[in-house]
Chain A
Amino acid sequence: MNPSVSSAKTAAELGRDDTMQLADIVISSGARNIAVIGLAKNTGKTVALNAIIKGVQASGIRIGVASSGRDGERLDAVTNLPKPRITLQKGVLVATTEELAMNATASLEPLIKTKYVSVLGRLIIYRVSAPGTIEVASGNRASVVKNTTQIMRHLGAELVLIDGAAGRRFSSAPSLADAVILSTGAVVAPTLDGVVARTAHAVEILSTEEWSSPHREDLNPKTLTNQDIVIITSDAVGKQVQNLKVKSVLVSISEIVRRLPGSGNTLILGGVLPGSLLRDLVTHRKAHGSTVVVSDATRILATYRDIALFKSRGGKIAVFHEVHLAAITTSPISPDGRMFKADTLLDAVAKRVRPIPVIDVIAGTARNLPGHDKTQEDKTEGGGVA
């Protein structure tokens, strides 16, 4: 593949040309839809995305690029500071709005005009016909992202990258992405310990394990909506199953807790797991030792503190579909000017989230890579992945 002017520019933006680890992880994961999410704005999602795009493009895989927010914009919508641009090579599919496409330096060939219209214009699927930068906004809700990725797959994309939006995590749902990259960085908390703790908490929630129970066979999670609550109680007498129809768990928390027959219940929620439910469960003796099951980790919207308290009282949280967290990226710089030593942050995060690989894309360093000594810095392997 001939390196073009714009790909050289991307490499310059990324610092050293040591960005293959992340693309390697993505390719070897075998995933077809990859979500890049961040703990907050300015944690380095776009830098991670660019590294993946570059590495994957070099390997000849046909890619599609979507954003669940807005990416590659010139200036940050909050801080007004310059942001990394997204550079795409010829042949890449990209989902963005008509208005944003007009400002792209990449040449774009429209393929599919979708029915979706946002305040940023109508969403169109384009093919890049000449390389350049582009701002990507492909729909900020799960249904649109899902539909968009399906259209891109249909049009021949072998790997679809879904860039995240600010601190939103919905795009990591297994229904949208089969592997997830999580970006964290100095912006997340004022201290190193704070960044590491918040990252570890997010990882713990995202890594919530699958519900393994003989009762699972009896339930089809696909048929559950936010109006369905199932309470399963097993005791010496036998198994008891209650199917409740509610307007929403948010409206009916006290009714749900009142219906719990004894301790050791399993509560299956068709919608969200809110912090208020966990706090109520903690205060009811018969709710102790309960297991709460939701579709996937993106449904867990309680704070870490509520979750930790619930777990400390014997509570468990499980999911029907696990998120596959493939790697974490760290960014030692915050837009307010604070900065950690890159290796200190990388090491501290890597130690807490072992065995998940952790990569500083700009510095080109990595920890917890499979097949490497856990403390040894990984050097880039020449030749990339082609």
Chain B
Amino acid sequence: MDIDKTRVRPYGDTPDDGYMQLSFTLPVPCSDESRRAAEILGEKMGLEDAKVVYSHNIADSFSFFVIYGRCIHSVDMTTIEIPKVNAEFMPFEQINRFIETRIGRKIVVVAACTGTDAHTVGIDAIINMKGYRGEYGLERYPWFTAYNLGSQVRNEDLLAKAIEVDADAILVSQVVTQKNVHIDNLTHLAELVEAEGMRDKVLLIVGGPRISHELAVELGYDAGFGPGTLPSHVGSFIAQALARSARNMREPTRGENLC
């Protein structure tokens, strides 16, 4: 199918018809009036012909809506630039071999959900033995030593543990992002690591549903992994970044002169 990348529109029933479905809650009881309000909201959001296809009372004064309508907007995908992590993703065996030959010792990682965050699903997927989506977590890798500190860990305790076990990488997971609390929390951790003089000694990596590499770099991290990340992605990045920094340590010059 030929798609015009400069005008990408939702596919509803036929190409480019723009039809899409969205769901939301309004803080009012379910009624003919609130159903109409949901449709008007959809229209204001750029949906033509918005129709409520499902509605339901979910509490005394809340109702849930699904609306279906034709989106009038399109997106020019040729203008979108998303930085990709500069690591070549390797499978389990290859990562272990890479660490064995290029680094020659086990890589130590310390991981936690920090701040008020109690949602360990992300960090568990990356670290725990049983892993995620058919992939083993880093605990299962013979060339990784992984410490999973669990949830609601204070930044100070996370860094203390990293220093105690001479960690090569700190992995922090942020799932709760209400009122952008993750920004303050991630900023504080990066400041702490820098103030303790540890920033050049440890990789700082963050993951979570609202995390991107751009945000991670802005806040002082080496990488930021979003939804769909697998343990081997994180493992590949850490192994290659450590191999690169080990190489850099041996380079006495600070740059190549292009003048």
| Nearest opposing residue in chain B for A73, CB measure | B214
Residues of B within 8 A of A68 (CB): 220
Does A77 lie within 8 Å of B212, measured CB to CB?
yes
Does B251 lie within 8 Å of A112, measured CB to CB?
no
Bound form: Cα–Cα A165–B259 in Å = 30
Bound form: Cα–Cα A120–B88 in Å = 15
Does A117 lie within 8 Å of B86, measured CB to CB?
yes
Residues of A within 8 A of B187 (CB): 166-168
Bound form: Cα–Cα A121–B256 in Å = 16
| Nearest opposing residue in chain B for A143, CB measure | B200
Bound form: Cα–Cα A121–B228 in Å = 23
Does A137 lie within 8 Å of B156, measured CB to CB?
no
Interface residue tally for chain A (C-beta within 8 Å): 54
Give A267-316 interface residues, CB cut-off 8 Å to B.
270-276, 298-301
| Nearest opposing residue in chain B for A270, CB measure | B197
Does B219 lie within 8 Å of A166, measured CB to CB?
yes
User: Known contacts being A78-B183, A169-B191, is A271 close to B197, with CB within 8 Å?
Assistant: yes
Does A141 lie within 8 Å of B163, measured CB to CB?
no
The reply to whether the CB of B134 lies closer than 8 angstroms to some CB of chain A is no
Residues of B within 8 A of A142 (CB): 194, 199
Bound form: Cα–Cα A73–B218 in Å = 11
Chain B interface residue number, banded = 35 or more
Smallest CB separation, B54 vs chain A (Å) = 28
The reply to whether the CB of A54 lies closer than 8 angstroms to some CB of chain B is no
The reply to whether the CB of A367 lies closer than 8 angstroms to some CB of chain B is no
What 1/0 mask marks residues of chain B from 26 to 56 whose CB sits below 8 Å from any chain A CB?
0000000000000000000000000000000
Bound form: Cα–Cα A111–B256 in Å = 9
Residues of B within 8 A of A301 (CB): 188, 191-192, 195
Bound form: Cα–Cα A251–B86 in Å = 34
Bound form: Cα–Cα A298–B253 in Å = 29
Give B200-223 interface residues, CB cut-off 8 Å to A.
200, 210, 212-223
Does B254 lie within 8 Å of A114, measured CB to CB?
yes
Smallest CB separation, B253 vs chain A (Å) = 8
Residues of A within 8 A of B222 (CB): 118-119
Bound form: Cα–Cα A124–B213 in Å = 19
User: Top 9 A-B pairs ranked by shortest CB distance?
Assistant: A250-B160, A272-B195, A77-B215, A69-B218, A271-B196, A272-B196, A114-B255, A140-B220, A248-B163
Question: Which residues of A approach B to under 8 Å, CB–CB?
Answer: 40-41, 68-70, 73, 77-78, 99, 103, 110-115, 117-121, 124-125, 137, 140-143, 147, 151, 165-170, 225-226, 247-251, 270-276, 298-301
Question: Which residues of B approach A to under 8 Å, CB–CB?
Answer: 81, 83-86, 154, 156-157, 159-160, 163-164, 180, 183-184, 187-188, 190-192, 194-200, 210, 212-224, 244, 248, 251, 253-259
